[in-house]
Amino acid sequence: MEDFLPLGAKPPRGATPTEICSFQRQSYDVTAVPGADAVVFVSFSPSAGACSGLEGPPLADIPIVYAVDTAKWVILSVQK
């Protein structure tokens, strides 16, 4: 989560309400799925109803997926 949305991250000045909502961690669901060789796939997607009905474009429905090596605790890849 710290790579996806660091603590204290702020939306840009003049951000729309949807953009402001997108900078809140509670706006996202996180799913982790184990893979082979100590790899875990972590998916971040908007929570159902998060930021809906706000001014500005909706949050993308496409999840962002990280592959994380849990032996070395490094991010191997990010699919956006």
What local confidence, expressed as pLDDT, does residue 21 receive? 93
Write down the pTM of the prediction.
0.85
User: What is the Cα–Cα distance from 34 to 7, expressed in whole angstroms?
Assistant: 25
Report DSSP state, residue 25: G
What local confidence, expressed as pLDDT, does residue 38 receive? 97
CB neighbours (10 Å) of residue 35? 13
Do residues 69 and 34 make contact, with C-beta atoms less than 8 angstroms apart? no
What local confidence, expressed as pLDDT, does residue 26 receive? 94
What local confidence, expressed as pLDDT, does residue 52 receive? 85
Helices (H), the chain: 17-22
Q: For each successive 10 residues of the chain (80 residues), what is the average pLDDT?
A: 95 92 94 97 92 81 93 96
Kindly list the domain boundaries of the chain, sorted by start residue: 17-79
Do residues 35 and 23 make contact, with C-beta atoms less than 8 angstroms apart? no
Report DSSP state, residue 38: T
